[in-house]
Amino acid sequence: MTSDPQIVVIGLGYVGLPLAVALANKFDVVGFDVNAERIAELEAGNDRTGEVSVDILQASSLALTLDTQSIQDRNIYIVTVPTPVDEDNVPDLSPVRAACKTVGSVLGKGAIVVFESTVYPGVTEDICGPALEEVSGLKCGEDFFLGYSPERINPGDTVHTVDKIIKVVAGQTPEIAQKLADMYGAVITAGTFIAANIKTAEAAKVIENAQRDINIAFVNEVAAIFHKLGISAHDVLEAARTKWNFLGFEPGLVGGHCIGVDPYYLAHRAKEVGHNPEVILAGRRINDSMGTFVADAIADKMEAGGLKGPVLMLGLTFKENVPDLRNTKVIDVVAGLKARGLDVDVHDAMADAAEARTFYDIDLISKIEDGKYACIIGAVPHDDYRTMTAGQIVAMTTPGGLIADIKGMWRKMELPAGYLRWQL
Ligand SMILES: NC(=O)c1ccc[n+]([C@@H]2O[C@H](COP(=O)([O-])OP(=O)(O)OC[C@H]3O[C@@H](n4cnc5c(N)ncnc54)[C@H](O)[C@@H]3O)[C@@H](O)[C@H]2O)c1
């Protein structure tokens, strides 16, 4: 490799685009994606993920392409394609394999191929290396080299942006790791950490998310217990958190395509080597069941209060302040309420209405009718919902209606007498 990185970022989504733009501040970077619509919208300066602003995108020297010819013979390829699971929660590595085919077809001698997609330990060296060799005809570790650097961004988080999160890097050799640390270090102000080896870096990323999943599963389980005991989990956690070493997790729905998915990657590898990952899978089971639990708890409360009218769900995305609808668990709450015979309207100004229709068969409402709903559910704490006043919420509700708060975002709010409340 020459000392001058000529970088290609493969896959320009939530992870790839901000990274490519950051690297383009210092280096010659081409962003490649297979989705023509995505390239066209980025060329027009529009990042629908909301991660990169129009101004920054338009001012960036990042070149965009759909064409494999224009990514020939570069010296660094960074792969940031999706790593989902299939319907049986088994890792689906087809986007990673497809990216290896693309990179293999353009790979030249001396290049480094770095994977940033979240995978289980072994994918980079045992699956991607051979796949790249097969297409390129080059020898891994001699003609080209592998690297892994997990992406740790948190979409919608304007504080912990890609440049402000320590970048873990690993290379097939110590020299490759150092080259990658130098490259990332040029744009990541938080600095870099060289992991012991590629499998270690892959494992570090996957346990970061599995750890969050398990911790959230614990507070979800205690929330279910406290629900039966008639005490609020949020009140309990607020008290418990006054101890210095109590961990600050909140109960809730665990959706999206990271925390709810990555533990299955680790579990898959664990089973391959003959270990039954009990805690990891128990966490997944608990978190995956929360939507139904919440729906039943709210429907029970409505029944007990004699409320039969329609329900308004505020928020559909998998988390606050992002437009990302992938694997949102709010959908389980909607389905659970419908199964109990309730009519549910869903409002989410951040989400794309066409995507909601295509993926979930939900027609988002754009205008909220005053006084229509027997129950208002705060499902996703987008800023617009979190900052609603009691007056605004009550105005949407029929007299004596139920205000249900999945994320505890309105728990300090005073409501007029006569309204029912539910919170996780
Ligand atoms: N979104 C997050 O919060 C986050 C955070 C950390 C890590 N990750 C990991 O980063 C990876 C990417 O996630 P994302 O959220 O950016 O996904 P995404 O779906 O937003 O973006 C992926 C992009 O890759 C493109 N793509 C798919 N197959 C391709 C191929 N063969 N060649 C070129 N482009 C291709 C898609 O068109 C899309 O634009 C995943 O492994 C994910 O687990 C995601």
**Beta carbons of 329 and 360 less than 8 angstroms apart:** no
Three-state SS string across 11-77, please?
CCCCCHHHHHHHHHCCCEEEEECCCHHHHHHHHCCCCCCCCCCHHHHHHCCCEEECCHHHHCCCCEE
- In short, whether 81's Cβ falls inside 6 Å of ligand 1 is yes
The angle formed by the CA atoms of residues 6, 8 and 13, to the nearest 5 degrees, is 145
**Beta carbons of 87 and 118 less than 8 angstroms apart:** no
Question: Which phi and psi (to 5°) does residue 88 adopt?
Answer: -100, 15
Query: For residue range 7-39, what is the model confidence (pLDDT) as tens digits?
Result: 999 999 999 999 999 999 999 999 999 999 999
Quote the strand ranges of 123-202, DSSP E.
145-148, 167-171, 192-194
| pLDDT for residue 2 | 43
| pLDDT for residue 81 | 98
15 Cα–ligand 1 center, Å = 6
Atom of ligand 1 nearest to the CA of 32: 33
Fold of 289-423: Rossmann fold (3.40.50)
Query: Which of 71, 78, 81 has most ligand 1 atoms within 8 Å of CB, for mutation?
Result: 81
94 Cα–ligand 1 center, Å = 12
Query: Which of 15, 127, 162, 321 has most ligand 1 atoms within 8 Å of CB, for mutation?
Result: 15
**pLDDT for 154 beyond 90:** no
Catalytic sites, residue numbers: 258
pTM: 0.94
Dist CA 340 CA 310 (whole Å): 12
11 Cα–ligand 1 center, Å = 6
* Nearest alpha-carbon partner for 149 in 197, 210, 91: 197
The neighbour count for residue 398, using CB atoms within 10 Å, is 17
- In short, whether 104's Cβ falls inside 6 Å of ligand 1 is no
Instruction: For the chain, give percent helix, strand, coil, nearest 5.
Output: 40, 15, 45
**pLDDT for 226 beyond 70:** yes
Query: For residue range 342-373, what is the model confidence (pLDDT) as tens digits?
Result: 999 999 999 999 999 999 999 999 999 999 99
Query: For residue range 66-97, what is the model confidence (pLDDT) as tens digits?
Result: 999 999 989 999 999 999 999 999 999 999 99
Query: For residue range 169-215, what is the model confidence (pLDDT) as tens digits?
Result: 999 999 999 999 999 999 999 999 999 999 999 999 999 999 999 99
Could you tell me the two tokens for 208? 């970061």
| pLDDT for residue 424 | 87
| pLDDT for residue 3 | 58
Query: For residue range 319-328, what is the model confidence (pLDDT) as tens digits?
Result: 999 999 999 9
| pLDDT for residue 1 | 44
**Beta carbons of 368 and 386 less than 8 angstroms apart:** no
| Choices 3.10.620.30, 3.40.50.720, 3.90.1150.10, 3.20.20.70: CATH for 6-195 | 3.40.50.720
